[in-house]
Chain A
Amino acid sequence: MLKVKDLHAYYGKSHILQGVSFEVGKGEIVSLLGRNGVGRSTTINAIMGDVDCKGSILFNDEEIVGLDSHQISRKGLGIVLENREVFPTLTVRENLILGIKNMRKTGRWKIDDMFDMFPNLKRRADVSAGALSGGEQQMLAMCRALMGDPDLIMVDEPTEGLAPKVVDQVADLLTEIANRGVSILLIEQKLTIALKISARIYVMGHGRVVYEGTSAEFEKNEQVRKDWLEV
């Protein structure tokens, strides 16, 4: 479904992505792991058209390098950014409405589904999103992306800074998303939920992918963890 091949990206003169390649299949949960600053966020921001890049990104066999963010989004890609990036001055409901790309078409998700899953969001539907807790903002950001009915969603460090109970909620929601046939590319640094829910793992180091394998294989491979993940 998503095939990234030999992706290069620069910030000014520094060569951040130096030939990243990986794939995500239909309905699959795949994790992209790596230490701080290896370029995971840059990778998915490049996929989303927000960072200039060279190389090839095929989505449903269609080249999307060079397209605008909104065009890429409308092809069925969704993203939940690293800092959640909810619209702080707008209400929870307005945030969700902004996720909808086409008001005339109903997708897999409706606002009421979101409110059923997260009563907290329902209770605070008309409160500014900026007033929500970190966990609630994370849920809101994910729900907002789902309102656009993506076929593949990329989620950047969703468990960062959240309490263990909320981390479980995130994992449950991701599993539920995958159950509805949506592919997931999960960016993580810790293994907490990545190992539990994903089928395959990629590890990034020095601007490229340095390891790929199934979760089971990865779990046994202590060397990779020591070389590329542990700090």
Chain B
Amino acid sequence: MLETVIFSLLNGLVYGLLLFLLASGLTLIFSMMGVLNLAHAGFYMLAAYFAYTISLYMGFWFGILLAPLIVGLIGGLVERYGLRQVHQFGHVPELIFTFGVAFLLEEVVQFIWGRDQLAYNKPEILEGALFTLFGADFPIYKMFMLIVSVLIFITLFLVLKHTRIGLIIRAAVGHPQVVGMLGHNVPLIFMVTFGVGTALAGLAGAIAGPVLGTYPGMASGLGGIMFVVVIFGGLGSLGGAFIASIMIGLIQTFAIAIDGSLADVLALAGIIVTEETFMYDIWSTTMPQVAPLIPYLMMVVMLIFRPTGLMGARES
């Protein structure tokens, strides 16, 4: 029991922080530019592929270092030469544009690397178990993911809270015109934010590739959950995205770990469910089976009772 709790806690944190790497960029871009970037998860995937290819020639470490930078650069260019031109036509064309980019990325990836999962592997030094508890292993690689995510989180926090550019970014969230009128180069800030946001997604992809798999479906796999995180946390709120990421990470892993069904709960109360029982399918469904549904369920419930999400300030 204790073993399950500890491992689920750690796994939940790893997964949650990975979600936050993705969600932070998405939510920052949204709150500043009012653009819901549907291609965000596409950049996550692209970076995993880049990291794979780079790792073939220069090794794993260059891969996870360079891939996010290249993807961030591409993101900046997409903002500068794509999104900015589309912006004048309004929000719907912007949304459609990012949708198009998402499709494009998926097609390009399949065109270059094919449909099969790539053998993007962890380096030897990160193979194996960090520690063994009650006979179960906790992999070094997960600790590595945890450390990278925490470092990025701390850096992001420090930059936003304690630097001048961070101050300008915080002001530009929700009030970009005012910031521009004070003499700050808002178009440049938009481009940099978009670039850094996609670079963070890229980093997430580069470090997740070896464990979650590098294949053309990896964008849609995590993309849905990423949207749940930003909507549940409140569109535009970094704090909300953080809480939601960790929450969803933990709930998901705990749900998978708890191998029980409603039938088991009823059994405790003395009610025995058999195949003849009314609605047997529902009673016998196990937690791991419904685990993937939980985040979406949470989002729907949140939208009904609190449309702005956990910490979202307002509709804009």
- Report A's interface with B, CB cutoff 8 A: 48-50, 68-70, 73-74, 78-79, 81, 85, 87, 89-90, 94, 97-99, 101, 103, 144-145, 148
Contacts and interface: CB of A to CB of B under 8 A. Distances in A.
A101 B289 CA distance: 56
A179 to B, nearest CB: 23
Nearest to A75: B183
Given A69-B181, A79-B181, A98-B171, 16 more contacts: A49-B180, A68-B185, A69-B177, A69-B186, A70-B182, A73-B182, A74-B183, A81-B178, A87-B170, A87-B171, A87-B175, A87-B178, A90-B167, A94-B167, A94-B171, A144-B182
A103 B164 contact: yes
A79 B185 CA distance: 16
25 contacts: A48-B181, A49-B181, A68-B180, A68-B185, A69-B177, A69-B181, A69-B186, A73-B180, A74-B183, A78-B181, A81-B181, A85-B175, A85-B178, A87-B170, A87-B178, A90-B167, A94-B171, A98-B167, A98-B168, A98-B171, A98-B184, A99-B182, A101-B184, A103-B164, A145-B182
A101 B167 contact: no
Contacts of B170: 87, 89-90
Contacts of A85: 175, 178
B171 A70 contact: no
Contacts of A148: 182-183
Contacts of A78: 181
A74 B184 CA distance: 9
Interface residues of B, number: 17
Nearest to A144: B182
A22 B148 CA distance: 59
Contacts of B181: 48-50, 69-70, 73, 78-79, 81
5 closest A-B pairs (Cβ-Cβ)?
Answer: A69-B180, A101-B183, A73-B183, A85-B178, A87-B171
A145 B177 CA distance: 14
A74 B188 CA distance: 15
A59 to B, nearest CB: 14
A153 B241 CA distance: 39
Interface string B149-191: 0000000000000001001101100010111111111110000
A97 B177 CA distance: 17
Contacts of A99: 182
A72 to B, nearest CB: 8
A50 B183 CA distance: 13
Nearest to B176: A69
Contacts of B183: 70, 73-74, 101, 148
A70 B185 contact: yes
Contacts of A68: 180, 185-187
Nearest to B178: A85
A161 B184 CA distance: 30
Which of A48, A69, A73, A145 gathers the greatest number of chain B CB atoms within 10 Å?
A69
